Amino acid sequence: MPKARRRSAHRSERFEEMALPDELLGVLADQGLERAFEIQAAILPDALAGRDVLARAETGSGKTLAFTLAMTARFRGRKVHRKRPLGVVLVPTRELAVQVVDTIHPFARAVGLTAQLVAGGMNIEKQADAVARGVGIVVATPGRLIDLAERGALQLDLVETTVIDEADHMADLGFLPDVHDILAAIPMGTQKMLFSATLDGQVEEIVDSFLVDPVEHETTPVSAAVTTMDHHVLAIAPSAKRAVTAQLGARKGRTLMFTRTQLGAERVAQELVEVGVRAAALHGNKQQGLRTNVLAGFREGAYPVLVATDVAARGLHIDDVTMVVHVDPSDDVKEYVHRSGRTARAGAAGTVVTLALPHQISRTRRILAEAEVEPTWSDDVESADDPALTPLGGRTPSGEPAEDPALVKYKGAPRKLDIQRTRGADSRRAEERRANEERRASWEEEPPARGGGRRGGRGGAARGGAGRPAGTGSGKPARTSGGKGSGKPTGRAGGKAVGKGSGKPTGKGSGTPKGSGRGSSGAPRRRGGR
Ligand SMILES: Nc1ncnc2c1ncn2[C@@H]1O[C@H](COP(=O)(O)OP(=O)(O)OP(=O)(O)O)[C@@H](O)[C@H]1O
Ligand SMILES: [Mg+2]
C-alpha cells in the first residue's frame, strides 16, 4: 500500500493559479468553472508530475475533472498513433463510460487530442475504427477493451496514464482479473491513478502489483461525509411500502429510486406510472439503446422519477436529483454511500430516504452507523398519510395512470431505437408477478384485468390508509468509527497480458486462479461492463 498518505487540507484554489495549460483554462472558463474542488487541487501537482495516485474523495466532489485535467494537461499537443492510445480510463458501467468521455471531450479537443468511448452494448466496429484511426484517450469498460485488444484493434504498449475510476467497485463486480490483464499489458512504471469515494482494501492487489510509490489523497475521513446530504429512515409496514413509494415519487423535483433487483425496478416504475407518477426503470437487463434513452430522458428532466438497480449507483451525475430513495435498503455501507451520492453533489443539497421493512431495520441501523450518518428516523410508518412524509415533500399522486416515460424517445437516444422493446420480458414478468400478488392479497373476488385494462381504476398508492401518526426521532444509530470496507485482495497470482510488449493481444491466459471466471480456453471474459 502507499507510502505517502496525505490528508488534503481544505483549499479552494483558482484554476488560473494552477499549473494548467491555457487551453484547459479556456475550457474551464467556458464551463463557468473558476475554483478547483478540494480533490482537484490536491491531486493535480502529483498527477501532473506523473506520480501514481490513490484518490478517495466523497461522491460528487469532482474526481472526474481531477483526472481529466491531469491527463489532458500531460498529453497536450502529443502525437497519437493508430490503435495506440496514450491514456486509458477504466470504468465499471457503460453509462459511466459515456458520462466520463463526455466530460473529457472538450478538454481533449482543446489540447489537440480525441477521446473515444469503448464500451459494451454499442457498435464495436465503430469503436474499433475510431481507435484504429488514433485516439489520445480511451474511456472503457474492461470487457470491451479486452475485446478490442483481442481483435488486434487496440494496443496498450504506448499507454502512459491509466485511470481506474470506481476502482474498488471493479473488484466488487469481479472485474479484477480483467483489470489485472489490462494493467499487465500496459508498460510497467507508467502512471496509474485509482479513484473512488470508497477506495479500500479491495484494490490492494492492484496497488501492490502495479503501482509504484503511490501517493494517497483523501479529502474526507468518513465514507458518507457529504455535509449537504440529509438522511432519513422510514421504518414502514410492508402494506405501506407501495403507497409510501408513490407518495415520495409524486413529490416536486427529481427523484432517483434504488431497488435490489431488475424486476423490482421494473415493477416499482410500473406501479408509479399506474398511479400517475411518471417513472422509468434502468437496469442491466435492458437493451443498451433503451438504457441510454431512459437515462437521456431523466437527465433532460422529461420525467421526474428514475427507478434503478445499482447499475446507476456509481459515478453517475444527473443534475438536480434532490432525493434518493432506497426503496430496497442497501446491502452494505459502500452501496449506501454510492447510491446516496447521486444527490447532494458538488455542494448542492439533497435528501436520502431509506424505506426499511421490519426485517430490514437492524441491517439499516448498522449500515447507517458504519456510514457515520445520523438519520432522522421515523418508526411505525403505516400509511402514506404518515406525517413523516410531509417534510420530505411527499404528495398524493393523482391515481390516474400517467404516460409511460419509457415509451418516449428522447434526444440523445440511439437513432434506431425500438421503443416497443421496453414492454419486454422483464416488464411482462413483473406484471404477471404483481397480478399474482394482487390476486392473493385482494379482498375482492374480481380478478385483475388483463390486456391493458389493468391500468385504470386501482387505488394503488393513492389509497390513504389509516394515517396513524408515527413516533419520530427514536432509533438513532450510535456513531461508530471506521466505515471503511475491509475488502481483501483477491490473491490473484498471475494473469495474462493483453497485447503486452509488442502490443499484440495474446488471447491466451495462464496462471489464472480459480474463480476468475474464465473459460477453459483461457481467453479473457467479455463482459463489456454492466
Ligand atoms: N471545480 C468545480 N467547480 C464546480 N463544479 C465542479 C467542479 N469540478 C467538478 N464539478 C462538478 O461537480 C459534479 C460532480 O463531479 P463528478 O461527477 O466528477 O463527481 P465524483 O467525485 O466523480 O463523484 P462520484 O464519487 O459520485 O463518482 C459535476 O457536475 C462536475 O461538473
Ligand atoms: Mg466519479
Q: Is the CB of 475 inside a 6 Å radius of any atom of ligand 1?
A: no
The region of weakest confidence among 125-134, 163-172, 394-403 is 163-172
Classify 349 as helix, strand or coil: coil
| Residue 421 pLDDT | 59
**Number of continuous H segments (helices) and E segments (strands) in the chain:** 15, 15
Q: Which ligand is nearest to the CA of 35?
A: 1
The region of weakest confidence among 267-281, 332-346, 435-449, 505-519 is 505-519
User: 224-415 belongs to which homologous superfamily?
Assistant: P-loop containing nucleotide triphosphate hydrolases (3.40.50.300)
Amino acid at 443: W
CA of 63 to the centre of ligand 2 (A): 5
Q: Is the CB of 195 inside a 6 Å radius of any atom of ligand 1?
A: no
Q: State the DSSP code for 84.
A: B
Q: Is the CB of 315 inside a 6 Å radius of any atom of ligand 1?
A: yes
Rounded CA-CA distance 407/34 in Å is 40
Whether the per-residue pLDDT at 174 is higher than 70: the answer is yes
Of all helices (H) and strands (E), which one includes residue 116? Answer: strand 115-118
Classify 102 as helix, strand or coil: helix
Mean pLDDT, range 302-315, rounded to an integer:
97
Percent of the chain with pLDDT over 90: 70
Residue 22, all three cell numbers: 491555457
Shortest-distance Cα residue to atom 10 of ligand 1: 62
CA of 165 to the centre of ligand 2 (A): 7
Pocket test for ligand 1, best of 24, 40, 63 (most atoms within 8 A of CB): 63
| Residue 415 pLDDT | 82
Of all helices (H) and strands (E), which one includes residue 321? Answer: strand 321-326
- Residue 464: pLDDT band by 50, 70, 90 thresholds? very low
Whether the per-residue pLDDT at 487 is higher than 60: the answer is no
Q: Is the CB of 64 inside a 6 Å radius of any atom of ligand 1?
A: yes
User: ∠ CA(383), CA(354), CA(479), 5° rounding?
Assistant: 125
Q: Is the CB of 311 inside a 6 Å radius of any atom of ligand 1?
A: no
Q: Is the CB of 175 inside a 6 Å radius of any atom of ligand 1?
A: no
Q: Which ligand is nearest to the CA of 334?
A: 1
In the numeric block, the cell 479484477 is attached to 176
- Buried b or exposed e, range 421-439, using 16+ CB within 10 angstroms: ebeeebbeebbeebeeeee
- Order across the sheet with 376-381: list the strands: 279-282, 305-308, 254-258, 321-326, 350-356, 229-236, 376-381
- Residue 321: pLDDT band by 50, 70, 90 thresholds? very high
Higher pLDDT, 420 or 68: 68
Cβ neighbourhood burial of 136 (10 Å; 0-12, 13-18, 19+): buried
Q: Do 466 and 382 contact (CB within 8 A), yes or no?
A: yes
Rounded CA-CA distance 115/288 in Å is 21
CA of 60 to the centre of ligand 2 (A): 7
CA of 283 to the centre of ligand 1 (A): 23
The correct CATH number of 6-220 out of 1.10.10.10, 3.40.50.1970, 2.70.170.10, 3.40.50.300 is 3.40.50.300
Helices (H), 442-503: none
- Residue 522: pLDDT band by 50, 70, 90 thresholds? very low
Q: Which atom of ligand 1 is nearest to the CA of 99?
A: 17
Residues 6+ apart with CB under 8 A from 447: 439
Q: State the DSSP code for 120.
A: T
Mean pLDDT, range 303-308, rounded to an integer:
98
Residue 28, all three cell numbers: 474551464
How many whole angstroms from its chain centre is CA 439?
36
pLDDT in tens, 125-149: 999 999 999 999 999 999 999 999 9
CA of 276 to the centre of ligand 2 (A): 33
Q: Is the CB of 303 inside a 6 Å radius of any atom of ligand 1?
A: no
CA of 346 to the centre of ligand 1 (A): 6
The total number of residues shown for the chain amounts to: 530
Q: Is the CB of 345 inside a 6 Å radius of any atom of ligand 1?
A: yes
Q: Do 288 and 139 contact (CB within 8 A), yes or no?
A: no
Half-sphere exposure of 414 (CA within 13 A, CB side): 14
User: Among 51, 35, 32, which Cα is nearest to 43's?
Assistant: 51
* pTM confidence score: 0.81
Whether the per-residue pLDDT at 476 is higher than 80: the answer is no
Whether the per-residue pLDDT at 470 is higher than 70: the answer is no
| Residue 510 pLDDT | 33
| Residue 330 pLDDT | 96
Q: Which atom of ligand 1 is nearest to the CA of 166?
A: 27
| Residue 255 pLDDT | 98
Q: What mean pLDDT, rounded, does the chain reach?
A: 82
Rounded CA-CA distance 148/493 in Å is 25
| Residue 418 pLDDT | 77
Whether the per-residue pLDDT at 512 is higher than 70: the answer is no
Helices (H), 186-327: 204-210, 241-249, 262-274, 288-299
Could you tell me the sign of the dihedral formed by the alpha carbons of 54, 55, 56, 59, in that order? negative
| Residue 219 pLDDT | 80
Rounded CA-CA distance 200/68 in Å is 22
In the numeric block, the cell 439503446 is attached to 289
CB atoms within 10 A of CB 408: 17
| Residue 455 pLDDT | 32
Q: Do 474 and 379 contact (CB within 8 A), yes or no?
A: yes
Classify 445 as helix, strand or coil: coil
What pairs with residue 321 in β-bridges?
Answer: 254
Classify 34 as helix, strand or coil: coil
Q: Is the CB of 224 inside a 6 Å radius of any atom of ligand 1?
A: no
| Residue 483 pLDDT | 31
Rounded CA-CA distance 497/504 in Å is 9
Indicate where the chain has its CATH 3.40.50.300 domain(s): 6-220, 224-415
- Residue 520: pLDDT band by 50, 70, 90 thresholds? very low
Axis crossing angle, helix 142-150 with helix 176-185, rounded to the nearest 10: 50
Q: Is the CB of 355 inside a 6 Å radius of any atom of ligand 1?
A: no
Q: Is the CB of 99 inside a 6 Å radius of any atom of ligand 1?
A: no
Classify 218 as helix, strand or coil: strand
pLDDT in tens, 338-366: 999 999 999 899 999 999 999 999 999 99
What pairs with residue 137 in β-bridges?
Answer: 87, 115
Q: Do 267 and 430 contact (CB within 8 A), yes or no?
A: yes
Rounded CA-CA distance 373/4 in Å is 29
- Residue 419: pLDDT band by 50, 70, 90 thresholds? confident
Whether the per-residue pLDDT at 92 is higher than 80: the answer is yes
Q: Which ligand is nearest to the CA of 62?
A: 1
Rounded CA-CA distance 135/109 in Å is 11
Mean pLDDT, range 317-335, rounded to an integer:
96
Q: Is the CB of 36 inside a 6 Å radius of any atom of ligand 1?
A: yes
Residue 116, all three cell numbers: 473515444
Could you tell me the sign of the dihedral formed by the alpha carbons of 167, 165, 153, 48, in that order? negative
Percent of the chain with pLDDT over 70: 76
Q: Is the CB of 351 inside a 6 Å radius of any atom of ligand 1?
A: no
Rounded CA-CA distance 385/502 in Å is 67
